[in-house]
Structure 1
Amino acid sequence: MEQRNSYSILCFILISFGVALVSAQQQCMNTGTFRLNSLYDANRRLILSSLPSSVMAQDRFFFQGSTGQEPNRVYARAMCIPGSTSDDCSDCIKTASNGLIQSCPNQTRAFAWRGEPTLCHVRYSNTSFSDVSSELNPNNVFNNNVFNNTGDINTNLTEFAAKWENLTAHLIVAASTENSTPSSSSNYYKADAVALTPFQNIYALMQCTPDSSSLTHDCENCLKQNVADYQSCCRQTQGGVIMRASCFFRWDLKPFSKAFGNITVASPPPLLQPGKRFNGIVAILVPIVVVAFIIIIILVLTARRSAVLCWRRKPYEELDFDQSGISTVDSLQFELKTLEAATDKFAMSNKLGQGGFGEVFKGMLPNGTEVAVKRLSKASEQGAPEFKNEVVVVAKLHHRNLVRLLGFCLEGKEKILVFEFVHNKSLDYFLFGQWNNHLNIDCKGIYMMFFSV
């Protein structure tokens, strides 16, 4: 209970006195001390002073080693985030090491996270760095540091909280996933940003030490505890740093540590004023309604056309013309021998003419009716059902200015139409033949011929 109160008092002091996000944070761990100018002190100074060159000798900006013999052996590690330049990394580690010597003069364990000119980490201890679980006690104020700005969030808190939580959850998953280069600062690291407003972004960074164990989820547990510590202390303030000996979390409303140079943040959609929002909705809905209306018209016309075509293509057995007395196609059919007798077997003496679809012969039926027999070309590709269907449709037509179809014949390859015989020849003869020199038929007269009753 006393430790919990101590943690709350620390957060209150940090907020009240406006502890800024300083460029370096040292943590002296009260787990033991040593005498000044002792062998342990000498070994500590030796290994800390060698860290800048040791890290620069590594391609992956991470070094871990030790110097001296037990019980005065000193273990140390140092690292810089990916993308750091050699000069920035060296200066950062050197400054952090000197800060530990000055701030922790006789502590056997300490660590530092420095944020400028890049983010780097330095740690030393009298034991190897193998146990991360001891760092995760939220009430142990000596194993974590909480730093925050004193400014409040000047935006919609609900929207901010949703974006902030989504970003930190994404970073925890990304940073705690081990990659193929375990001995590298790029392992267990992630920096990203999300747009808060058209003019402001949320920037966040998470880093675990590369020696974290993926089997025991050291990095994931450590980062989750950092986020929980910040939320319980300072969640409505602008920016914050939570650091432990094995993991680091920082977020702010401005870039930091040169960690976001290659990160592109997508701008959020602009907020519309009420009037402009209504106009925007209208501008979207009107084209949609117009397009939908046009599509409906096209579908209706297509459906009607399909219905007409389907009606035209019905088999002749389905047609019913009871109003004219033609109920079946059989009543219109002539036998071939009847037509051969009527035309004297299509004698040339009875031939009236020839068109594009066949020859026309004059004939006399047994009942004395004169007919014009049109013998269609045998090369026609029209099938028997289609031929019969068209015969029934044409036979339905009645007009005083049209030649009436009396019937048909369909035997073998023969397709024959039987029309009433017109003594005064056909209309095209009067319109286009030699008789048009004697007749003065204008367009109105032609129209009246076809459409008068």
Structure 2
Amino acid sequence: MSSYACFIFLFLFSFLNSFRVSAQDPTYISHVCPNTTTYTRNSTYSTNLQTLLSSLSSPNASYATGFQNATLGEAPDRLTGLFLCRGDLSTEVCRRCVVFAASDTFTRCPNEKEVTLYYDECMLRYSNRYILSTLNTNGGIILSNTQNITSNYQIEFRDLVLSTMNQAATDASISPRRFEMRTANSTAFQFRTLYALVQCTPDLTRQECFRCLNLTISQLRTDKIGGRSVVSSCNSRYELYQFYNESNIGTPQPQLDSAPPPLPISVPSPQPGEGGNSTVIVVTVVVPISVIFLLLVAVFSFRAKKKRTVYETEPLTEDKGDITTAGSLQFDFKAIEAATDKFSLSNKLGQGGFGEVYKGTFPSGVQVAVKRLSKTSGQGEREFENEVVVVAKLQHMNLVRLLGFCLEGEEKILIYEFVPNKSLDYFLFDSTMQSQLDWTRRYRIIGGIARGILHLHQDSRLTIIHRDLKAGNILLDADMNPKVADFGMARIFGMDQTEANTRRVVGT
């Protein structure tokens, strides 16, 4: 009798699983739609948006590749959009998610010009700005499983997660699809298999994808049995259960004609005098009852699972339209200490009024600039975190990118993108280096500085007065493009801020 129940249960489980995958709506994660730029109904932008979404969700879209982008209209009503489906999903699941998202956007973000929708199966994004082939780590969210790793195994588990995720990031960055899945086994603790998945939008360069993935990996909570970090341009996730379609890893799957036949179900022939009729009656009655019971249990479990939240998200800031949070920007102090070789002198890049700056290199090879603030700031932890979030939202090609922060004890640390060619004063005031600054290059540097300052003063969502603009705070990237540094330090460091009193002497 147990063999009957076992077979029926396996059949029902497979059936319900396939039904769930094929029938349910995409699993919503989050959305970002800042209301800084909006449009009105029946406007040209609204018409262009509907046409763009129809194009992305049309039957002719590139669901097989899982990625497509489009541009439509003329300024100021021009907009670009894209979708990215999880790389292990079928064409049909991808199509269904994109179609659902194209409709869902008008419910979640009814009149915003810049929108990103995150689902477990896909991501849909559009904007009035040009967003194609551009790395963007804004609008991120971190999810963590509620179950903790046993304290005895946390270090080993962290090492396993990071090594596996970093290997996956390396492979994904050189893959044409910018996608990789990976498993890892360990007998050092009670869990056996770790499942990892990383993915970038394929329009990113190899370096941009690698940088994006390493940022999301550095933000993962490794003291939990599962977690994910999602931003506009990439995402990373690990679990201790198989959450993706393993067949897309490349493991050969059995064909239908070579699959083993199902176990035969045979009813023994009744023997005379042994109650054969009663055996048939038992089978006829008990098996349907078992089927109904198991079906009800499976349906109830599925509904309960849909209602239960498996992940806990980091708390959001008061601005509900932007999910860039302090939690999504925070780095672990031990990781920073290791990246800078415990803030060794050999990694020291310089020292300014706010503290010392070190070069940091993470195990994945990603380089950052680590500013270790002096301990004279009068801010509390919450104020410090809030100001970091504000400044991190400011992005421009001529502004040094603030990647995150670390706050532990008295340590207040800022993590910036690493700019290789040092600062402008290194070239201006060195007789041997001055020769590299011909007039054409100087003119381009001047224009870049002006654009960066203009963005701070006029084009950003909040006005920031630099208050310490000097050649030492103008960094030069590998192509000698200027990037303004140390903007917003009055906010982050907790200095007295008086925007109206611009004649006050502050800084160098």
For normalisation by structure 1, the TM-score amounts to: 0.45
TM-score, normalising length: structure 2? 0.40
When Rg is computed on C-alpha atoms for both structures, the one with the higher figure is 1
